[in-house]
Amino acid sequence: MFILCAEKNRLSLQQGEPLTSGSAGVYQVLFRFSPDWDGLSRTACFRSGGQSACVLLDESGTCTVPWELTALESEGRHLF
């Protein structure tokens, strides 16, 4: 599982893991938010290569990395 902390406008990685090509729908991301985010809707946007995708977070601040971005076709690609 990936864990990211959002404090004001800063996002920091607290825990990560390597991605395996073709493993779609298995990577969970938990976002922890500072009180500055209270009352706001929360959407995670991911980018890899020339593709991007946005996902609404559930009530617990969790989502799955979109499958389109984990179907990595070449080694060494980064997920943002």
Q: How far apart are the C-alpha atoms of 30 and 2, rounded to whole Å? A: 6
Per-residue confidence of the chain (80 residues) as pLDDT tens digits? 999 999 999 999 999 988 777 777 788 999 999 999 999 999 999 998 788 999 999 999 999 988 887 766 666 777 88
Angle at 67 between CA 79 and CA 11, to 5 degrees: 35
CA distance 31 to 44: 9
**What pLDDT sits at residue 35?**
96
In this structure, the number of other CB atoms found within 10 A of the CB of residue 66 comes to 20
From the list 40, 36, 32, the residue with the least C-alpha distance to 13 is: 32
Instruction: Output the pLDDT for position 49.
Output: 79
The model's pTM: 0.83
What pLDDT is attached to residue 37? Answer: 92
pLDDT of residue 69: 79
Phi–psi pair at 41, nearest 5 degrees: -75, 150
